[in-house]
A and B are shown apart, each in its own frame.
Chain A
Amino acid sequence: MERIEKSASYKMSASDINLKILAYTVVGIFALICLIPFVVMTSSSFNLESDIIKNGYCLFPRKFSLLAYKVIFSAPDRLIGSYILTICNTLLGTTIGLFLISMTGYVLQRPDYAYRNAISFYIYFTTLFSGGLVPYYLLITRGLHLKDNYLVLLIPGLMNPWLIILMKNFMKSIPHEITESAKIDGAGDFTIFIKLILPLAKPALATVGLFLALGYWNEWFNGMLFLSTTMKYKPLQLYLYEIITKADMLRNTPASKYIPPQNLPTETAKLATAVIATGPIVLAYPFVQRYFIKGITIGAVKG
């Protein structure tokens, strides 16, 4: 493919060259549009609040200031608590979810499993029809008594039909002969799954794991519905949401004793909180990107 493009480039016509220029510019511009909000957020969080209000947000800090970070770290316990909560939730949820999803995905594609179609449909049907938010709300609060329980952030996100289907499609690409020959050697199904299949499914585990981790890191909905506003520690994104939407959240920080309320850097403090809440997932992303792109490519193109 690369070679053909090169040999063809000898006789590139004017329209071909125009197309290349268009491709490089449009893709470049859109990539920048995707990136710039993150740069503006970070730069502005290091800028002086009064300057932002006068001149707007900035691409590079115009008047460097750490005040916003000082304010949010003046009472760091809530932020740190939210951080620890979110990290634990993400690690636990991703590990348990990955185990359950890969086990289900493996079993459901086993051609010798008698109930595979029935169970696949049982799982798939939940994407077609649901009771809606109200019965779900009643189930969590009155049936399972998970209101104000941190488990509500963990359990409902462990599995979802789409990730199981994605995993099942991956597992199909692992030759069934491996399972068969291991069975002849006397290995049990669970042992085969743990010892032989899991190590072979690394790209799938990376992709689904990333989806799960993203879900847990970005979780705010269940927290908002099921955790009382009085609870001290919130998932990180919900904490960010409260900082953004509730003006008095920042007014109550210890730093506000020393800074007159009209000078409290509320806008930049929101941005600083956003930088802190988003940082890890964006920083981790370059390391998993390779698997991720490969993963959604294989999962999406039905083969």
Chain B
Amino acid sequence: MSSKSKSNAWKTFKQNKTLVIMSLPAIVFFFIFSYIPMPGIYIAFTDYRYDLGIFKSPFVGFENFRFLIESGDLLRLVRNTVLYNIAFILVGNIFQIFLALLLNEINNRTYRKITQSFMLLPHFISYVLVGLFVYNVMNYDYGLLNILLKKVGLNPIPTYSNPDIWPYVLVAVNLWKNAGYGSIIYFATLTSIDPEIIESAMIDGASHVQKIRYILLPLLRPTFVILLLFSLGGILRGDFGLFYNVVGATNALLYEKTDIIETFVFRSLVNDFNFSMASAVSFFQSVFGFFLVVFTNWLVKKIEPDYALF
């Protein structure tokens, strides 16, 4: 029996030989860059020493986590990362839907094409450049913001030492960079709607506003729910490029409002050489992130079974 199933397995393998070889590059690639680092998460439970390596460094149990919680760092990082993501997701999606609905009302194709091109531009540039743009608006001496404030007779704001304004700035930058791209996805859903539904509503005398309210918005709901649920899975993952280039990872004056998991991990690794602390935060992020995704997928399955990932 077992020799028979063995020979069957061998037969299947032989039949698929070329396809196996063709998928080999991807198997090897993800093994090296994604699977090999996974056990390294054990560093979170050690007092890592570079000379000893991962598995010879002294084991300290939950000591690193205890320190992170007692110092208040973990709470601050998780709070910032989660709140920023919620703001990005909600503000972003609502504005993208709004834009898509308006784009749908524009009959002039040239106008639509041109405006869409401009709106996609921010998606094409690096966060380094975005950082420069924001600096040009925000810097104290000749930034656009303070020049405007001075012109209307107000005092300039000490931008890079005032944490309170950064949540607004970061949400605005995120919106600026991603709105055009996201609106295409919603717009695509709108154009795939059966024109007969809209036609019959129009014949019945529906206005454009009614069309949006009673036909288009309900039809966008599944796309919105799915995108929302999937971003829920990634809610512990921050956008390092955005925060690092726009705020900088080492401006301690702003940590209270701008430090996210990624910037902390980066700083611990590169500036403080504290591999253990960086790993402990990553461990928290990876493990809880994993459960969040699994939970989200379960939710998706309940709401729209077709969209579940696994």
CA A260 to CA B27, docked complex, whole Å: 57
Q: Is the CB of B209 within 8 A of A274?
A: no
Q: Contact: B38 with A135, CB < 8 Å?
A: yes
**Is B185's CB under 8 angstroms from A296's CB?**
yes
* Docked complex: B136-184 residues within 8 A CB-CB of A: 136, 141-142, 144, 147, 176, 179-181, 184
Given A104-B26, A156-B33, A134:B275 Cβ within 8 A: yes
A57 to B137 CA separation, bound complex (whole angstroms): 9
Contact A130 B286 (CB under 8 A): yes
Select from chain A the residue with minimum beta-carbon distance to B103: A27
CA A300 to CA B226, docked complex, whole Å: 11
Contact B136 A57 (CB under 8 A): yes
Asked if residues B106 and A27 are in contact (CB atoms below 8 Å), the reply is: yes
User: What are the residues of chain A within 8 A of B290 when measuring CB–CB?
Assistant: 128-129
CA distance A292 to B279 in the complex (A): 38
Q: Which of A35, A133, A240, A297 is B118 in contact with, Cβ under 8 Å?
A: A35
Interface residues on B, range: 35 or more
Contact A104/B188 with A23-B102, A115-B16 known, Cβ cut-off 8 Å: no
| Residue A293 lies at the interface, judged by CB distance under 8 Å to chain B | yes
- Residues in B whose Cβ lies below 8 Å from that of A218: 125-128
Main secondary structure of the interface of A (DSSP, over half): helix
Could you tell me if A244 and B131 are in contact, using CB atoms closer than 8 angstroms? Answer: yes
Cα of A40 to Cα of B19 in the assembled complex, Å: 52
**Interface residue A258 (Cβ < 8 Å from any Cβ of B):** no
Contact B107 A5 (CB under 8 A): yes
Q: CB of B309 within 8 A of chain A?
A: yes
Residue B253 at the chain A interface, CB threshold 8 Å: no
Contact flags B122-133 to A (C-beta < 8 A → 1, else 0)? 101111110111
Q: Which of A2, A57, A138, A278 contacts B129 (CB 8 A)?
A: A278
Which of A62-70, A106-114, A169-177, A248-256 makes up part of the contact surface?
A: A106-114
A237: contacting residue among B128, B135, B199, CB under 8 A: B128
* One of A71-79, A87-95, A198-206, A279-287 contacting the partner: A279-287
- Distance between Cα atoms of A16 and B205 in the complex (Å): 12
Residues from chain A with a CB closer than 8 A to the CB of B142 are: 52-53, 56-57, 267
**Chain B residues whose CB sits within 8 angstroms of the CB of A35 once the complex forms:** 118, 121
The residue in B40, B185, B209 that gathers the most chain A C-beta atoms within 10 A of its C-beta is B40
Asked if A184 is at the interface of the complex by the 8 Å CB criterion, the answer is no
Determine whether A28 belongs to the interface, using a CB cutoff of 8 Å to chain B.
yes
Q: Which residue of B lies closest to A21 (CB)?
A: B105
B278 touches A188 (CB 8 A): no
Contact partner of B30 among A28, A126, A289, CB < 8 A? Answer: A126
Let me know if B298 is at the binding interface, CB within 8 A: no
User: Smallest CB-CB separation from A302: which chain B residue?
Assistant: B307
Residue among B117, B192, B286 making CB contact with A289, cutoff 8 Å: B117
CA distance A138 to B22 in the complex (A): 29
The answer to whether residues A26 and B26 also contact, given A115-B20, A133-B269 and a CB cut-off of 8 A, is no
Shortest distance between the CB of A38 and any CB in chain B (Å): 7
The answer to whether A26 and B265 touch across the interface, beta carbons within 8 angstroms, is no
Within the complex, the shortest CB–CB distance from A274 to chain B, in Å, comes to 6
Among A56, A104, A121, contact of B23 (Cβ-Cβ < 8 Å)? A104
Chain B proximity mask over A266-277: 1 for CB below 8 Å, otherwise 0: 010011001001
* Chain A residue at smallest Cβ distance from B181: A296
Whether, in the assembled complex, B62 has its beta carbon less than 8 Å from a beta carbon of chain A, the answer is no
Given A16-B207, A244-B132, A278-B129, A31-B118 contact (CB < 8 Å):
yes
Q: Does A180 contact B (CB under 8 A)?
A: no
Chain A residues positioned under 8 Å from B112 (CB to CB): 27
* CA gap between A159 and B129 in the complex, in Å: 25
Q: Which residues of B contact A (CB under 8 A)?
A: 12-13, 15-16, 18-23, 25-27, 29-30, 32-41, 43, 53-54, 98-99, 102-103, 105-107, 111-112, 114-122, 124-129, 131-133, 135-136, 141-142, 144, 147, 176, 179-181, 184-185, 188-189, 192, 195, 198-199, 202, 207-209, 212, 240-241, 245, 262, 265-266, 269-270, 275, 278-279, 282-283, 285-286, 289-290, 293-294, 306-307, 309-310
User: Given A217-B126, A278-B125, list of 20 further CB < 8 A pairs?
Assistant: A1-B198, A2-B107, A22-B102, A23-B102, A30-B99, A31-B115, A34-B120, A34-B122, A35-B118, A124-B309, A126-B35, A131-B282, A132-B37, A138-B54, A161-B30, A237-B128, A270-B132, A277-B129, A285-B124, A302-B307
